[in-house]
Amino acid sequence: MNVRGPILSVGEVRSVDTKYGERDLAELTVRPDDGAADAATVTLWGKWTHTAEHAEPGMELLVTDAERDDHGDREGYTTSKESYVVLEPDFLVDVTDVRSWVQCPRMYYLNKLSGVPLNYPVVKGTIVHEVFGDLLRGVDLEESIEDQVADAGLELGLLGREREEVVDEVRRNAAAIEGWLNQGTLTPEGDEAGTAPSEWDGTPAETDWRSEYTLISPTFGVKGRADALRRGMPVELKTGKNTNRDPRFQDKIQAACYALLLRERGVPADTGTLLYTKNTALDRSEASGDLSPAKEFSVGKGLLEFVVRTRNEIAATEFDVSVPTGFEADAKCEYCFEQDTCMVVSGRLDQESKAGQIGTPLPEEERDYFDRSYRAIEEERRETHAEYRKLWEQTAEERAADDRALVDLDPLDREELPGGRWRLRARKDPEAVSKLREGDVALASDGDPAAGHSELCRIEELGEEVAVTTDEPVDLRRLDVYPSEISVDRMLTALHDALLKGDSDRKDVLFGRREPEFADGDDTFIDNNESQNRAVNRAVNAEDFALVHGPPGTGKTYTIARIVRALVERGDRVLLSAFTNRAVDNALEALREQGFEGAVRYGTETGVRGDMQDVRLVRRGEPNDRAAELNGASVVAATTAACGSRAMREQGFDVALVDEASQLTEPGTLAAVNLADGFVLVGDHEQLPPVVRAENDLQRSLFQRLIEDHPDAGVMLDRQYRMSQRIQAFSSSEFYDGALRPATPEVAGQTLADLGVDADVLPPELRANVAFVDPDGRREGNANPAEAERVAAVVESYVDAGVPRGEIGVIAPFRAQVAEIGRRTDVTVDTVDRFQGSSEEVIVVSFVATDSLDSPIFEDPRRMNVALTRARKALCLVGDADALASDPFYRRMLDWARR
Ligand SMILES: Nc1ncnc2c1ncn2[C@@H]1O[C@H](COP(=O)(O)OP(=O)(O)OP(=O)(O)O)[C@@H](O)[C@H]1O
């Protein structure tokens, strides 16, 4: 029986005499059934008392295979021989984190802060791992090495490595792997080593080899990606040498973690193998000891329990977001490679640490900022974990209704690609919608992503047919959004880089110790728009930073391109960045339209728009050429997320220009800003705020903070090129103090007639360029079918009058209503978030709500600002007048629309 619930109290560890001799125990009070049952005593015996020492009231406790042990009138449970005790099972600890924690808890923390840097051992390690995977999939060794070294071309070039030298070194490492794979003793009888698994049926024990296996354990709160499984047993590859007979302790722990994860799936993994690739590469005369690369060890219950206890220590530390000191373990600092880094970080952040501190602490406000941001980012991590949990807590139908999965796919075919990867196809219900998009990394599964067979995949095609690529074939019956911690990890490293590596002068301005400064200068860069020209001047003259506030349609992109050109003309190297790929590509397009060539686009093939592929930096190839292309570019364009990548973190710029800055968290913005001496942020804090799950400081952008603290550093673009006078009026008065105006009389006076539409053909209620229609529908959940029907009819009226379908967009607040409307019309229907940054001649907005507006979606008027400003010539609001009139903001909107 499993007992699970919140801990109410934790008793001291004490010893008692039992028939087996003296034993330790600790009693905890827990409310089982996830808090629904009456309080019960749970007794943890023996080594599990170690976990009791880390437990605190408020944490969640899980005891598997518990036994009843009633205490008089109170229910009680006790651990059995089979039990595992898990603290905070919902917190998913990564296997690599368990590994670094056993080396030293402080190392775990430092790794988290600084991320994986660009260095040769790391890049080489990745290549060797890839080659290992290739060998398991049956690829020829030499072919694989050439291929994988070419793939790492850019990074190798940035590290100044020559291709030949790397090929040689990888070959020496890979030889150990190949040799081992070819050893008959380790291969099942009659089977050839290195052959790819023929058909995967979901049970690891039944196939010979699997590479890169993603595992998540709901019970133990652990996740990770095993290098390989051999007949269900974990094999870990280490690009180092180890001449002892036994694997290194931390390596053993890592393999044991995977064994634990496999056991949860019913695979009795009782042996772990570590493969040290440098062993055979040693010069035999210099080396002594055990030179065989593969070292096996047996994974007993004691080791698995140790893994869980270690994992519990991490979960307990993260429960109160405390910082490990290193005293938790008995690692010796003087033997540690990280000793200096550890001391510097401890000194700068004034943290207690076993290694000690050097240097002077950062000013107090910076340490406060660090602590607050660190906590906020860790809260966001917990929210990400909650997303993982939904993979097994929600039913397939719930996932689909939540737009997080495409379910009931019908597998069509599978095709093996060169290099051993697979392309899988399936048919999907044409009406099914989800958040998944082409290019996304997702989880492909046989229908059960947690307990069944699942593979990470990349979505290549998402129409009526779905096509994905994976490492191994899987019966493609379901596709899930795969929650990634990468953005959380990158926020932490950006925070680290900004505060611990950042220039102190820069920090003086960021932390309000000094005002931003500007050089004198007033040139004419743009002669037909005064505010845009001021914005370019502000940006060009900024000694520290400048802010460009751009309401809808005011020519932000145009102005950005002009700023970039002006900066490059005076000899600056510029980073052109934005939150989304779309905005980065739009800015590049504007640059091209203004006649500027020579920008390099840093991004993935699927992320970059088709017409920008010609300037995309290809990472594959000859190291020197690849690095020269990036290093030599005067303008590099990349999303802010990509700015946190290993390669980009090593780049330096004079100015970073960041578009959509109001949609970015502070650390998200810092990722780009860290790379440059000065920066220009472009955004509009009156439109959508940063997209985060947790409710904390991350919801406010750096753009907003700076523009509120230093209004003089900003220029607002006040002429818009998009909407007719009538459409923009409400937004201008509600959000921009009436300062927003049409740029030209043509913009102001545009109507549907300009499209050749005869207004008389339209129903009377749609003839004005702002219209309101009340369909008298009823909200059902997050949809309103009657309203959807009316929206579709409104769309048809515009089409009948001559508006091309491609010029009409429909915006609805909830995905359920998007789907409801999508079933009735073939024009673009989406939520506000998807429409930000775009516009259409005609926009129809569906409000869904009836009776009242009680949904968080209606609480932030900035959403409405985005919705209402997407229309150029006609805007039609479809909603329930009574519900809208119940809130002052929406009442004013109604008054305007009905005027
Ligand atoms: N100074 C200008 N002179 C002439 N046309 C301009 C000027 N500035 C912008 N435009 C035009 O106005 C339109 C909108 O500009 P742009 O796309 O740069 O707006 P934006 O502010 O980036 O829009 P969004 O609000 O969607 O981000 C474009 O067609 C652009 O060419």
This complex has an ipTM of 0.97
Pairing of strands 454-462, 465-470: antiparallel
Looking at ligand 1, which residue's alpha carbon is closest to its atom 27?
Answer: 837
pLDDT of residue 705: 96
pLDDT band at 290 (very low <50, low <70, confident <90, very high): low
Phi, then psi, of 227 in degrees rounded to 5: -60, -45
| CA-based nearest residue to 829, from 232, 820, 838 | 820
Atom of ligand 1 at shortest distance to CA of 838? 26
Atom of ligand 1 at shortest distance to CA of 560? 18
pLDDT band at 198 (very low <50, low <70, confident <90, very high): very low
Q: Are residue 886 and residue 801 in the same domain, yes or no?
A: yes
Pairing of strands 714-716, 545-549: parallel
The rounded distance, in Å, linking the Cα atoms of 252 and 108 is 17
CB 454 within 8 A of CB 444: yes
Three-state secondary structure string covering 401-451: HCCCEECCCEEEEEEECCCCCEEEEEECCCCCCCCCCCCCEEEEECCCCCC
pLDDT band at 854 (very low <50, low <70, confident <90, very high): confident
pTM for this predicted structure = 0.91
Q: Are residue 479 and residue 515 in the same domain, yes or no?
A: no
Instruction: Indicate if the pLDDT at residue 675 is higher than 70.
Output: yes
- The residue behind tokens 């690829």 is 139
Atom of ligand 1 at shortest distance to CA of 721? 12
Helices 364-393 and 666-673 meet at what angle, rounded to 10?
A: 110
Ligand 1: centre distance to CA 597 (Å): 20
Q: Which tens digits make up the pLDDT trace of 566-625?
A: 999 999 999 999 999 999 999 999 999 999 998 999 998 888 999 999 999 999 999 999
Q: Are residue 478 and residue 506 in the same domain, yes or no?
A: no
Looking at ligand 1, which residue's alpha carbon is closest to its atom 9?
Answer: 555
Q: Are residue 656 and residue 615 in the same domain, yes or no?
A: yes
The rounded distance, in Å, linking the Cα atoms of 269 and 307 is 14
Query: Which position has the higher pLDDT, 658 or 229?
Result: 658
**To which H or E segment does residue 872 belong?**
strand 871-878
Q: Are residue 508 and residue 468 in the same domain, yes or no?
A: no
Residue 851 is assigned to a structural domain of this protein: yes
**How far lies 147's CA from each of 153, 163, 165, 415, 511, in Å?**
10, 11, 15, 21, 47
Identify the CATH number of the domain in which residue 39 sits.
2.40.50.140
Atom of ligand 1 at shortest distance to CA of 837? 26
Looking at ligand 1, which residue's alpha carbon is closest to its atom 8?
Answer: 555
pLDDT band at 193 (very low <50, low <70, confident <90, very high): very low
Residue 671 is assigned to a structural domain of this protein: yes
Ligand 1: centre distance to CA 541 (Å): 23
Ligand 1: centre distance to CA 772 (Å): 28
Residue 749 is assigned to a structural domain of this protein: yes
Q: Which residues contact 745 (CB under 8 A, 6 or more apart)?
A: none
Q: Are residue 746 and residue 604 in the same domain, yes or no?
A: no
Q: Of 56, 87, 118, which residue sits at a domain end?
A: 87
Q: Which tens digits make up the pLDDT trace of 322-345?
A: 999 999 888 789 888 889 999 999
pLDDT of residue 483: 87
Atom of ligand 1 at shortest distance to CA of 839? 26
| CA-based nearest residue to 98, from 309, 374, 267 | 309
Residue 340 is assigned to a structural domain of this protein: no
The rounded distance, in Å, linking the Cα atoms of 673 and 663 is 15
Beta bridge partners of 28: 10, 42
Ligand 1: centre distance to CA 552 (Å): 9
Ligand 1: centre distance to CA 556 (Å): 6
Looking at ligand 1, which residue's alpha carbon is closest to its atom 16?
Answer: 555
pLDDT band at 74 (very low <50, low <70, confident <90, very high): confident
Ligand 1: centre distance to CA 561 (Å): 11
The average confidence (pLDDT) of the chain is: 91
Q: Are residue 682 and residue 558 in the same domain, yes or no?
A: yes
Q: Are residue 699 and residue 818 in the same domain, yes or no?
A: no
Secondary structure class of 275 (helix, strand, coil)? strand
pLDDT of residue 35: 85
* Residue 172 exposure: Cα atoms within 13 Å on the Cβ side: 15
Query: Which position has the higher pLDDT, 199 or 53?
Result: 53
Secondary structure class of 717 (helix, strand, coil)? coil
Ligand 1: centre distance to CA 715 (Å): 16
Atom of ligand 1 at shortest distance to CA of 551? 25
Q: Which tens digits make up the pLDDT trace of 519-532?
A: 999 999 999 999 99
Give the mean pLDDT of 185-197: 39
Q: For residue 476, what are the domain limits?
A: 396-483
pLDDT band at 207 (very low <50, low <70, confident <90, very high): low
Looking at ligand 1, which residue's alpha carbon is closest to its atom 6?
Answer: 555
Residue 100 is assigned to a structural domain of this protein: no
Atom of ligand 1 at shortest distance to CA of 717? 21
Q: Are residue 462 and residue 521 in the same domain, yes or no?
A: no
Residue 11 is assigned to a structural domain of this protein: yes
Looking at ligand 1, which residue's alpha carbon is closest to its atom 26?
Answer: 837
Tell me which of 525, 557, 722 to substitute to probe ligand 1's pocket, judged by most ligand atoms within 8 Å of the beta carbon: 557
| CA-based nearest residue to 274, from 253, 294, 299, 302 | 294
pLDDT of residue 187: 41
CB 687 within 8 A of CB 661: no
Residues with CB under 6 A from ligand 1: 526, 528-529, 532, 550, 552-558, 721, 837
Q: Of 54, 87, 120, which residue sits at a domain end?
A: 87
Ligand 1: centre distance to CA 868 (Å): 18
pLDDT of residue 164: 95
For a pLDDT cut of 90, what percent of the chain falls above it?
A: 73
Q: Which tens digits make up the pLDDT trace of 81-139?
A: 999 999 999 999 999 999 999 999 999 999 999 988 899 999 999 999 999 888 888 88
Looking at ligand 1, which residue's alpha carbon is closest to its atom 19?
Answer: 555
Q: Of 87, 108, 139, which residue sits at a domain end?
A: 87
**To which H or E segment does residue 400 belong?**
helix 396-401
pLDDT of residue 190: 37
pLDDT of residue 148: 95
Looking at ligand 1, which residue's alpha carbon is closest to its atom 23?
Answer: 553
Q: Are residue 763 and residue 808 in the same domain, yes or no?
A: yes
pLDDT of residue 430: 80
Average the pLDDT over each of 74-78, 685-689, 895-899 and give the range with the smallest value.
74-78
Ligand 1: centre distance to CA 735 (Å): 19
Q: Are residue 537 and residue 662 in the same domain, yes or no?
A: yes
Average the pLDDT over each of 43-52, 192-201, 492-501 and give the range with the smallest value.
192-201
Ligand 1: centre distance to CA 555 (Å): 3
Residue 521 is assigned to a structural domain of this protein: yes
Residue ranges with strand state E in 731-851: 741-742, 770-773, 808-811, 828-830, 840-846
Instruction: Indicate if the pLDDT at residue 492 is higher than 70.
Output: yes
Instruction: Indicate if the pLDDT at residue 204 is higher than 70.
Output: no
Identify the CATH number of the domain in which residue 596 sits.
3.40.50.300
Tell me which of 524, 721, 728, 835 to substitute to probe ligand 1's pocket, judged by most ligand atoms within 8 Å of the beta carbon: 721
Residue 74 is assigned to a structural domain of this protein: yes
- What would the two tokens of residue 29 be? 């009070």
Most confident of 289-298, 393-402, 801-810: 801-810
Q: Which tens digits make up the pLDDT trace of 773-783?
A: 999 999 998 99
Ligand 1: centre distance to CA 154 (Å): 35
Count Cβ atoms within 10 A of the Cβ of residue 547 and give its class: 0-12 exposed, 13-18 middle, 19 or more buried.
Answer: buried
Identify the CATH number of the domain in which residue 453 sits.
2.40.30.270
Tell me which of 558, 719, 736, 750 to substitute to probe ligand 1's pocket, judged by most ligand atoms within 8 Å of the beta carbon: 558
Q: Structural domain tally of the chain?
A: 4
- What would the two tokens of residue 118 be? 């660009």
Ligand 1: centre distance to CA 797 (Å): 30
Ligand 1: centre distance to CA 617 (Å): 27
Most confident of 248-257, 408-417, 676-685: 676-685
Q: Are residue 711 and residue 617 in the same domain, yes or no?
A: yes
Helices 249-264 and 95-103 meet at what angle, rounded to 10?
A: 150
Q: Which tens digits make up the pLDDT trace of 343-397?
A: 999 999 999 999 999 999 999 999 999 999 999 999 999 999 999 899 889 999 9
Give the mean pLDDT of 800-828: 93
Phi, then psi, of 239 in degrees rounded to 5: -85, 65
Looking at ligand 1, which residue's alpha carbon is closest to its atom 14?
Answer: 555
Ligand 1: centre distance to CA 557 (Å): 6
